[in-house]
Amino acid sequence: MAPVLRLLFWLAASCSAVRAARRTRSGIEVPGPDEDPFYAAPPGIESLAPGTIVRSRPAPAPLSLDNKSALKPKAVWQLLYRTQNSVGKPEVTVATVIIPHNAKLGNVFSYGYFSDAAYNACNPSISMLVGTRDDNYITQYQNIITIAALNEGWVVVVADDGGPQASFSAGPHAGYATLDSLRAVIASGNITGVSSDPIITLFGYSGGSFSMSFASELHPHYAPELKIAGAAVGGISPNVTYLVEEDNGKPWAMFGPPVLLGISHDYPDFAQWLSENLIPEHEAEFRQAEKQCVSANHMFENKPTEYFFKKGVAGFKEPLPFNVTESAGSMGTRGPPKIPWYMYGSVGDDSAPVDLADKLYVSHCKQGANIYYERNPIPMSHKTECLYATPGAFVWLQDRHAGKPIVPGCSTAALTTESVRGVVEGVFFKAVRDNLAAWASQDEIGPKVGVNQTVVNPLIAPWTNASIAELPKPPNPLPSEPVPAPGAPVVTPEVPLIPVPSPTPQTAASASASGETVPPIAATPVAEPATPVSEPAAVTPSAPVAETPTVPASVSEAVTTSDPANTAAPAAPTPGTPAAPAAPTPEAPAATVPKAKGKGGRPKAPKAPKTAKGPKMPKMPRGKGAKGKGSGGVSGVSGLVLMAEEEEGERLVERGWRG
């Protein structure tokens, strides 16, 4: 297995180096949103329903992997649609819709494209195309994922999820824009040909997982009519406020200025606070992040917060900045996702701490979520984990598009069945082949009709005759997360939810349900444009949207209690009477994994906190793993609670990041 992985990494690195060496500018300049009238909001968008298409056009330049060569899907459309920012202010943004040759128009793949910038000229609708800025071309490598999805026949949708002001790291904004892009795509049948009832999946890694996680949490409140089959999220950062301190003075501090400025674009009070607290001599340098893209933001690497702010990190614990950044950047406070998740990350992630991902997993699972979590015990970096684990996530998404059922409940694995299948089925090799064909020979992108596209990993083919049916099945739900009997009521703890701002205005259908009277919006089909930029004569309203109150400034605390299903505290003994010994509770055998070598290997399992009562929780073994059992050395949700709370709980409380 190790030689296979080494070759995979070598191929990925070589491919990236070749592309970087060959990169030259095409001479095409794609104008930014501030110069292109297509992006301008027309008057009266407040009266439009979220997801309403305002304009459409073919993309002004072709897709690219190297900012020069044109990729060849069947069509690339851009839809300008109505959405809203984090605090419910109506706005318009763009979704790029890519149609492959031989498309399966009933399959929609929403990709969270990380732009990692607070400048709107870095938005995906521009950065995916030939002619993007020199400091943004590196984000085009994400089109590798786009090509892989297109070759499955799926329609790919990429939203400018930061909106017209590039509100990078404003999580609710990204969630609303993603959900409204799906509403727009479903309504675009007369433009794109997409089915009105497609199978929808979400995928994102790193900054892309941030958008897709917020979309998942907001989905049941904001767009419950959307039928989403599942979401794969990796390298997840559940709390950007925490990262302001954690990455202070480190290489990942390059994201500090764009994160803070991006959030300020949605919250005027926070923008004013930044102006008042920035050191005047360094303010111009800090605000340079609003004029450049991700590659140029390396200028902020290793810069301490004290370099820019008068009070340093301590200033962000003041009520206004703390409440705003928590509201904008903390997951798990709006309730669990109602759609199944495939979640993955490494214990060695140097950008997205795995302990925060563990806490999010525990919190969501205690509220009834369905999550399959590949928790890689090998200490891989943020970038390496993306290469290592994304094939497994892609296999899981293939199963959702094929209509295969999920195993309900929550479970963890050091190596999921899907990752094993990704190796056996040669997912990485197929992606390399398809991308090289699309880039070098300029093949049309899409599934080849009548051609067997199955790729067997050439490195393991001589040593295996295993069919997919013989591969290990996904693990059963963890002992601490029992599956309720059919028809049984689901009991979940009370968790305060952050209300979602109501879209403006309320649609007639939702108003009638509540007994109110609202003037109806005239409905006229959106016509395909005769010219590159056109406006429809009337508006097509989207599906009704539930009304909810406005987002408050404060954020509810995360739930991190131990799992009651796994252990129970004994009753207190009566005074003067010897306490009866508690009946032994059988413990599920803890699976293990091969011991990680080198620095950063998995630490010894911590003991339960001294304040805990009752029997001890099962320890997590160090490195001797069960083969194929799929727990990755973590004994269920309770094991994750132990590790997450012991390693980070007290530190978060001391620093003020958690109540």
Taking alpha carbons only, the member of 173, 119, 102 closest to residue 447 is 102
Q: Are strands 155-159 and 90-99 parallel, antiparallel or unpaired?
A: antiparallel
Beta strands in 170-227 (DSSP E): 199-205
Amino acid residing at 345? G
Residue 282 appears among annotated catalytic residues: no
DSSP letters for 350-409: SSS-HHHHHHHHHHHHHTT--EEEEEE-S---HHHHHHHHHHHHHHHHHHHHTTPPPPPS
Amino acid residing at 94? V
The DSSP secondary-structure symbol of 113 reads -
382, 510, 631, 635: which one is catalytic? 382
Q: Token pair for residue 320?
A: 């206004």
Contact partners, residue 49, CB within 8 Å, separation at least 6:
82, 503, 505, 507, 521, 539, 541, 542, 543, 544, 545
125, 206, 327, 542: which one is catalytic? 206
Could you tell me if 292 and 117 are in contact, meaning their C-beta atoms sit under 8 angstroms apart? yes
The edge-to-edge listing of strands for the beta sheet with 199-205 is: 53-58, 75-84, 90-99, 155-159, 107-112, 199-205, 228-234, 341-346, 371-376, 410-413
Residue 275 appears among annotated catalytic residues: no
Could you give the CA distance from residue 523 to residue 508 in angstroms, rounded to a whole number?
Answer: 12
Q: Token pair for residue 502?
A: 């109501």
349, 350, 399, 434: which one is catalytic? 349
Residue 382 appears among annotated catalytic residues: yes
Could you tell me if 131 and 148 are in contact, meaning their C-beta atoms sit under 8 angstroms apart? no
Contact partners, residue 15, CB within 8 Å, separation at least 6:
432, 435, 436
Other C-beta atoms within 10 Å of 318: how many?
Answer: 12
Could you tell me if 540 and 524 are in contact, meaning their C-beta atoms sit under 8 angstroms apart? yes
For the annotated catalytic residues, the residue numbers are: 206, 349, 382
